[in-house]
Amino acid sequence: MATIRVQREAFDPGAEINGFCTRNPTSGGIATFIGQMRDFRGESRNDGEVVTAMTLEHYPGMAESQLAELVKEASGRWPLDDALVIHRIGSLVPGEAIVLAAVAATHRGDAFAACAFLMDWLKTRAPFWKKEATETGACWVEAREADEDQAAKWKR
Amino acid sequence: MPAASLTVLYFAWVKEKVGLGAEAVSPPASVATVSDLIDWLAGRSPGHAAAFADRKLIKAAVDQVHAPLSSKLGDAREVAFFPPVTGG
């Protein structure tokens, strides 16, 4: 069923979503989430640095298996027809999509919930690390406690 | 008994501090848990020591599955250390 892709190449979220809808003509509800690299438009981050680019490191093998595991967990909790997760690695520039999650179900409630769940767990479990480049150097993005809280809501 | 030869992987700033992405190690039999392994690895170089200085910041995976630091190594073949993930 599900499609998992971890890739260096940029992707077109619109085209991916169109393809996903076409592949799932019998699903009445499709929910999607796109995470993109913010374009700070020359504005400073909290620390006064301007972010110009981002690099995403991953744990080859485990990144893919964790994403597959998340989709499997979602499929066990909600009746899903299909799921798609695409995650970028390597160098990104502002405006590019980092991640796309799409789920197809018969009804919207299951689709919305499963998509939110996938992203909340992905943020705390999938082994990817962001490094932001600024004009003066590069630093690793720190994990946010809010993400842990968000993921914990789905524990059962 | 832990495996005689173990692949240890490092990611993100843990990798930068250690100065290596991967290494094959043969810890002594007394190294039974992930936490024991950290103690043992920290003695290998100043870089290792710096990477593991604050283990509250360290997450681990044993054979590509997330594992608390108290996990037994058993016959694990691959252990990875990294900071909390920040993808998505």
Backbone angles phi, psi at A141, to 5 degrees: -70, 135
In a domain, B12, yes or no: yes
In a domain, B22, yes or no: yes
B87 touches chain A (CB under 8 A): yes
Q: Specify whether the CB–CB gap between B85 and A143 falls below 8 A.
A: yes
Q: Which domains does chain A have, with CATH numbers?
A: 3-152 (3.90.1170.40)
Question: B13 CB contacts (<8 Å, ≥6 apart)?
Answer: A140, B51, B83
Partner residue opposite A126 with nearest CB, options B9, B13, B87: B87
Q: Which domain holds residue B16?
A: 6-82
Model ipTM value: 0.93
Question: Would the CA dihedral through B7, B10, B11, B16 be positive or negative?
Answer: negative
CATH number at residue B71: 3.10.20.30
Task: Count residue pairs from A and B with Cβ separation < 8 A.
Answer: 68
Lowest mean pLDDT among A46-50, A91-95, A113-117, B46-50: A46-50
* Tens-place pLDDT, residues B33-72: 999 999 999 999 999 999 999 999 999 999 999 999 999 9
Average pLDDT (A41-47) is 70
- The helix/strand/coil state of A55 is strand
